[in-house]
Structure 1
């Protein structure tokens, strides 16, 4: 479920039709007048493409069809958000009924545009209490301005993987819990191999490294991205300055940006056998729960553990928190089989055994309270560390925006410049960033 996957796979003719009709002002509208007990065929589009993941999704559908023999589900995998959006704007018989997305940041657009239907009436009609079923953080990122147009379809939590052998070699007894401890431990773990190269870096904060997008680590500060009026708040948020100060100190404590970037260039692709952490070039690494499965499958040559990411020193009591995101599931506004579609959505997101089975199969975090407590869950304590991160009251997901995740892209652009030393006046840069985000959101609303 990592967000790095490239997904294609819908027939080219359908994609082309979506492109031609993407600008339609009045796409076809569906209905919830169908009888979900009558024979029906549903189209389900999702983004999974790896053989093991597709097998797990197909097994989920088989379980659903056994419970609902009148509903036949036709699944199409490896589908991009772009293709889904084009098809939903076009509407018609070729559009999907049920859709999933790895891009949590787009929920604001799905809800605001009505592209995905409001699920609250379906939950009320069938007695599903969302607040008793799903953790609050997950409900936050699947809704926008009171509209619950999606539900969580498993979750991702981010923590810190660490090389236990390297820790032992450096005389470090436990993972760091605060940012000052992180700087100290990172420096101890860093081993040079020449004037401008390394054998190992303790913790590389560089924002272009794998999952190191700035919002992942920034979540440890618990920032407020927008003020009460919905205006971008990054320049007036003191935590923003402490975040950049800390990442720059981490960089300098391990040799400077240029040397770290040069070393990063020696790493292989994120999911390859030459991954920087897997090859021992990183002593600690920010990543999601799926990484553990890869480390086991590729037989890492060192003992490794998982811990929550450190937190700012003045927020030490929030240790255990982390960045939360996940796959989301919804019903297409154009579907004329919305009651039957809801039965599939309800089963995939709220049936405890189903959620547990899928979480075990693809090594993602369960997304319901009941599933998180199930004795049938994978007992690996390293995997379960991410369950605790998900349930931590301080853990944070990104706030939704009508302009999707474009504000995070803008933040990343600024962050690349800051880490390389290109922004001497940070407040000025952040003010310009706030203005840009506000202008982009205003344009999207209009």
Structure 2
């Protein structure tokens, strides 16, 4: 998968749409035409780059052979807001995939996506083919309304030429020192080449990829309430982030970010040699192959804070999810499609090879047919590492993620928070009030 900028907007927009969906999703596995009947199913997905669209088409080639009576119409570039608006209006597609595991709680609790457990039980699908972390982020409070469709994790990319012989950093202190050492400034002090940009406005340098992995931050406490002011990991993360940001100069970083190319285009600054080190997902290996084949680079686990060196090797794990919307008119054929795409090893390996994603089943992870570049091994190792983490799903999706990033981006980075502890306490209250309003 390659997440798109809508992922943070979606969590805000999704709540209003989800409230229009009837809570509770009673699933019947015999609704609509039989799977054997001639029919067309419409499948919405978020991929849009040419190699991504082709990868999806290649992955379902085997489905066409198994089910020649089912025509699959693929619709690219769809996000969660469009999906929920279609469900709310009573005109949903038959199958949807989403990049937003944060929204599983909303999808399941609102009934926007059907509970797949009856289908799984009817066809005796063994969930143990999915790693435990993957099983966890595809259900909410026992309602499994999604299944995993490939997985993503994050690591540190290093441009070999810009690293100048320095090995990839393993700790935050090493990362900070290298970021300063490798940064090249213009005569006026602005950034020409960045060693490492700490700002959350830089693509995948969002808090959940650093605050959790590097500093061990737990967004929610065991009672399911906001933990920003209580967990010291967030204070450590924010103080480090602001210190490095101030070293660069907030205005310099802002100017550099505004001058950057698009994340999912060949103008990406890492691909252009403008950034020495950056955190990114495994899909970047495919983009490097397609768009910057001459750039020599390494991958390594994301550095961890110096007091957490025993956790080095883990990373942030998430993935694409797939499900059947409430009101789908071809539910039985839709289930056959979902089952095939999420459990068939050949389909998953083909898809993973085409997208440069991590396969989401244990058999596919072990397949000798995986054809991925050497730099991809880091991501397979991170995915299996017991220190890898994700963030919990809630009834209002990724609202707490959005609120934290907004706090960092709009208040903390510009220097508008005179008292960090009070600021985090205020953030906790906003998150908890939102959870309570949503019924959590």
Instruction: Give me the TM-score of the superposition, normalised by structure 2.
Output: 0.90
| Residue 151 (structure 2) pairs with residue 151 (structure 1) | no
For 1:45-84, list aligned pairs within 5 A: 45-84=44-83
Q: Alpha-carbon deviations, 1:259-293, whole Å to 9, x = none?
A: 33233333222233332212222110111112222
Report if aligned partners of 1:158, 1:324 keep a CA contact under 8 Å in 2: yes
In the alignment, the residues of structure 2 paired with residue 158 and residue 90 of structure 1 have an alpha-carbon distance, to the nearest angstrom, of 36
Match of 1:345 in 2: 338
Task: Give the aligned partner of residue 418 of structure 2.
Answer: 424
Q: CA deviation at 1:118?
A: 1.6
CA deviation string 1:274-322 (max 9, x = no partner): 3221222211011111222222222355421111110111111111111
Q: How does 1:281-430 map to 2 (within 5 A)?
A: 281-299=274-292, 301-416=294-409, 417-430=411-424
Report the alpha carbon displacement of residue 147 of structure 1 after superposing the two structures with TM. 1.5
- Is 1:437 equivalent to 2:400 in the alignment? no
RMSD: 2.5
Structure 1: segments with no counterpart, 5+ residues: 8-18
Please say if 1:265 is aligned against 2:261.
Answer: no
Of 162, 174, 177, 1:181 maps to: 174
Q: Which moved more, 1:25-34 or 1:41-50?
A: 25-34
Aligned partners of 2:266 and 2:292 also within 8 Å = no
1:127 aligns with 2:120: no
User: Shift in Å at residue 216 of structure 1?
Assistant: 1.6
Give the structure 1 partner of residue 11 of structure 2.
none
Q: Structure 2: which 5+ runs fail to align?
A: 8-15
Inter-CA distance 405–6: structure 2 relative to 1 (3 Å threshold): closer
- Check whether the contact 2:23–2:111 (CA below 8 A) recurs between aligned residues: no
Q: CA–CA distance in 2 between the matches of 1:411 and 1:401?
A: 15
> Which residue number corresponds to residue 103 of structure 1?
100
Report deviation, 1:29.
7.2
Structure 2: how far apart are the matches of 1:306 and 1:315? Answer: 20
1:200 and 1:267 mapped to 2: Cα distance?
11
Please say if 1:31 is aligned against 2:28: yes
Cα distance in 1 for partners of 2:134, 2:142 equals: 14
With 394-403 and 118-127 compared, the bigger mean Cα shift is at 118-127
How far apart are the structure 2 equivalents of 1:39 and 1:255?
A: 61
Conservation of the 8 A alpha-carbon contact between 1:183 and 1:249: no
**Residue matched to 1:190:** 183
Aligned twin of 2:12: none
Shift of 1:410: 0.6
